[in-house]
Structure 1
């Protein structure tokens, strides 16, 4: 596999050529494999044609090949830069890896360390002898990735990568001149861009977008990533990502379903410290696991959903501590933060592609839909104000299950196979924290939580409905948070080490109360 630091290193499948750089810089316009016939142990010589070259042509040793597997590599632009060489290696080794853009994302952004000019290159590989290789044209599913970066000064930079049918095209285009600071900020995203590409090309695909959220907000205003990358043996998976100072969003549409997460970055005053955010994220991830298990959700889609939720919320950067549209205190105290989750407000949803698992009852689909959100409302001023934070979740799912735990479920059009449970799940949960202050002191702090669960079980034996039951479950609880905090808030005596420890422990206990409960019965 070619890296930016080497000219070409490509390993191909048996019967095709293998190239290794010998350290010469070449200006390649056409690369052709030619078979020699001197001895049974003959090797293949790869010739690099050079326009206007005065030095001897470099030669590369290659594995034996034949006319039917020989390939011609052509370049749209005569160049010997590292990006072109990396492209050549990627297109030659495409048969061995799903990652058609290995090393290209980082190489394209690293260009901005020295130059900000536009760039365009295309590389294509095809049979050397079209007559003897009819029907053997190199084929490959189409893959597209586009990174768009907007600077504070208004310059937009587009980086595009396209691969299809043995061809690879990359381009960099900007609508204005970049400053040194802007080029440096772009170059710093090179590793993050490549991490995102490598994740999208993995099998199974995974999200690795957290680095793209960490751009320099003093120089860059937004980062967008769109991709449509195939997974071997599966349809395309499309991903749309956006990050700026006000919001982060990511949506995924693939063969197993769709998911979307949006995070409101405009109200940094409600952000907790790193420990609070980590605790909240872990609690939500535990809730997601419980929800997936209860609704029999797709494991790979839920894994991607959890990765996206973690990456969108793990690092918010430095809070501005501004609360738009209100004269409320510009920063919240320890007690206030303990009664909030510490996360920015968000909306998240995941919808699994429905399947018809029972050919005798097509209306009985296997489904999984889940939504979860947090919204915070701040009113008033620091002398008299209120904070209300609401968390909501809803699960709607249905699935088929064998009557016997150890017996496999194999539903067919034959009545003898129709022995199963059809499960329908409908759950909803809500949590509201309310905080009120007067003259800068807490006057009210309460927590109200509710959980409603409904499980409908339809039992079929030999295709006949034997029983149909609905099991509802409802629970609620209320907590006076002010009563837990008041003893510490009213004391005027100097705090001892023991008092400080008890205060911190109480804040931690309060924070755990407001976080979502994975098990509603808890």
Structure 2
């Protein structure tokens, strides 16, 4: 009888980490040979072939691409039982998806950094019968770069792919206790951002990263990328400093971009004013998505990103609006006539589709842009303020002629009964304010909208109607006339309930689309 030894020399450990009966903690094998983690004391696999047949037996593999009869072993690059390693082992072995391996790893890395402040690296992989099915399997990469006020950079990386999970944290220099604590405070926010993008469906949770300790940290940059995973592919980045915030997401669903200028705290209204403006914008986004038949999941991420990036800008620097430095009531009035948000630009675009094989040029599409720009001029005594808000929706979609949802269109003429709707919708809102020596000289609001809807109706594939409907509106309001009686009778100076109610009404009027 002839015996052949397999080239595979990995240990036959269980897929989950081995457990020491005394302390119930995983037993990790950690020999490193030629840069690869190998198990200790591993017996060879023996294949017995009857010599009388003269046939060479081939090793058999399971559908999961493992050697039949050989149990894979989870190994680590370094022999350690620290909290990060244990978390990596637990996530790696329990994960049902590649992105599931990221669970808890980001927060574990930063929690460790709070107590030690030292660099760290670890990797977990599977050996012993694993045969990679393809070098082009799903891969994930996460980066968090934090820069402190003193100029020290901390880099956190998490990678998954090719059957392994690795994680590291490195600092370019020594951090003070307050800096190290500020970095560690990002643990929950970092993990929440990871978990949201790793979920199905994907979600966006930047709130924890957006609220970093600006007294110790200068900037935060977060990147999340998944490739070779089909419709689950996604590229997301978020960066924030004291002057700006930016978000970019690209996936199979479409693309999102949001940027906010936070450099001028004079524009920041009260928390209630910001909340009201955010709520108004979210309502507009919902209306645009509904009217343009946009992707609900992508719009949800867009709304979450916009709200989280604008809900709290941190501690204001003490800047004031021009012309209002010595008049608290005038400062209140000016802020009420502005959104209270920092200037921003935001856009969302769904991935276009061509659902009609008989007319591939008819695409289902959704594209929406919205922005705010503010111009300030003058001095502490005299000032001019102009704030402009605008939005633009471009969308097209197919709708069943019967009034139902999206039609099922085929190459058969009998399926070609539908409406093809195209929308081009723009809105604008502009506030202009002029002050002189503590007095409000002018305050006006101009709003307009321009909407064109084209409805092309088909029956049995024949165009029976093609109608374009334009809608235009415009209105102007004298905001000074609404406030002047309250200014003249002293309500503004006394900061009366009537004054605050008037400011609240005006703030509602200046919202885009109000």
When normalised by structure 1's length, the TM-score is: 0.84
Task: Report the counterpart of residue 238 of structure 1 in structure 2.
Answer: 235
Deviates more, 1:364-373 or 1:399-408: 399-408
Task: Report the counterpart of residue 477 of structure 1 in structure 2.
Answer: 475
Given candidates 294, 297, 300, the residue that maps to 2:294 is 297
Task: Report the counterpart of residue 325 of structure 2 in structure 1.
Answer: 329
What do residues 419-438 of structure 1 show as CA deviations (whole Å, max 9, x unaligned)? 11111100000000011001
Is 1:231–1:237's contact at 8 Å kept on the other side of the alignment?
Answer: no
In the aligned structure 2, how far is the partner of 1:515 from the partner of 1:183?
Answer: 42
Is 1:30–1:73's contact at 8 Å kept on the other side of the alignment?
Answer: no
What do residues 333-368 of structure 1 show as CA deviations (whole Å, max 9, x unaligned)? 111111111111100000111111111111111111
In the aligned structure 2, how far is the partner of 1:176 from the partner of 1:318?
Answer: 28
Given candidates 269, 273, 289, the residue that maps to 1:272 is 269
State the SS of the aligned residue for 2:464. Answer: strand
> How far 1:28 moved relative to its partner?
2.0
> How far 1:327 moved relative to its partner?
8.5
Q: Number of aligned pairs?
A: 467
What do residues 209-240 of structure 1 show as CA deviations (whole Å, max 9, x unaligned)? 11111111121100000111369762411101
> How far 1:93 moved relative to its partner?
1.2
Change (3 A) 1:439 1:467: same
In the aligned structure 2, how far is the partner of 1:230 from the partner of 1:493?
Answer: 61
In the aligned structure 2, how far is the partner of 1:177 from the partner of 1:495?
Answer: 52
State the SS of the aligned residue for 1:411. Answer: coil
> How far 1:295 moved relative to its partner?
0.6
Q: Which runs of 5+ in 1 are unaligned?
A: 1-14, 32-47, 51-64
Is 1:98–1:231's contact at 8 Å kept on the other side of the alignment?
Answer: no
In the aligned structure 1, how far is the partner of 2:493 from the partner of 2:144?
Answer: 53
Task: Report the counterpart of residue 307 of structure 1 in structure 2.
Answer: 304
In the aligned structure 1, how far is the partner of 2:132 from the partner of 2:273?
Answer: 60
In the aligned structure 1, how far is the partner of 2:126 from the partner of 2:135?
Answer: 7
In the aligned structure 1, how far is the partner of 2:390 from the partner of 2:232?
Answer: 33
Deviates more, 1:71-80 or 1:271-280: 71-80
Task: Report the counterpart of residue 104 of structure 2 in structure 1.
Answer: 103
In the aligned structure 2, how far is the partner of 1:68 from the partner of 1:158?
Answer: 42
In the aligned structure 2, how far is the partner of 1:284 from the partner of 1:494?
Answer: 29
> How far 1:135 moved relative to its partner?
6.8
Does 1:172 pair with 2:169? Answer: yes
Does 1:505 pair with 2:506? Answer: no
Given candidates 195, 206, 214, the residue that maps to 2:203 is 206
> How far 1:140 moved relative to its partner?
5.5
State the SS of the aligned residue for 2:226. Answer: strand
Does 1:385 pair with 2:383? Answer: yes
State the SS of the aligned residue for 1:74. Answer: strand
Change (3 A) 1:282 1:407: closer
Change (3 A) 1:339 1:168: same
Change (3 A) 1:83 1:220: same
Given candidates 191, 196, 203, the residue that maps to 2:193 is 196
In the aligned structure 2, how far is the partner of 1:141 from the partner of 1:312?
Answer: 30
Task: Report the counterpart of residue 286 of structure 1 in structure 2.
Answer: 283
Is 1:28–1:49's contact at 8 Å kept on the other side of the alignment?
Answer: no
Change (3 A) 1:309 1:321: same
Deviates more, 1:173-182 or 1:454-463: 173-182
Is 2:455–2:467's contact at 8 Å kept on the other side of the alignment?
Answer: yes
Does 1:362 pair with 2:360? Answer: yes
Is 2:385–2:434's contact at 8 Å kept on the other side of the alignment?
Answer: yes
In the aligned structure 2, how far is the partner of 1:485 from the partner of 1:494?
Answer: 9
State the SS of the aligned residue for 1:266. Answer: coil
Given candidates 256, 260, 269, the residue that maps to 1:259 is 256
Q: Which runs of 5+ in 2 are unaligned?
A: 1-13, 32-38, 42-65
State the SS of the aligned residue for 1:391. Answer: strand
Change (3 A) 1:49 1:328: farther
> How far 1:392 moved relative to its partner?
0.5
Task: Report the counterpart of residue 80 of structure 2 in structure 1.
Answer: 79
Task: Give 1:382-421 correspondences, 5 Å limit.
Answer: 382-406=380-404, 409-421=407-419
Change (3 A) 1:444 1:69: farther
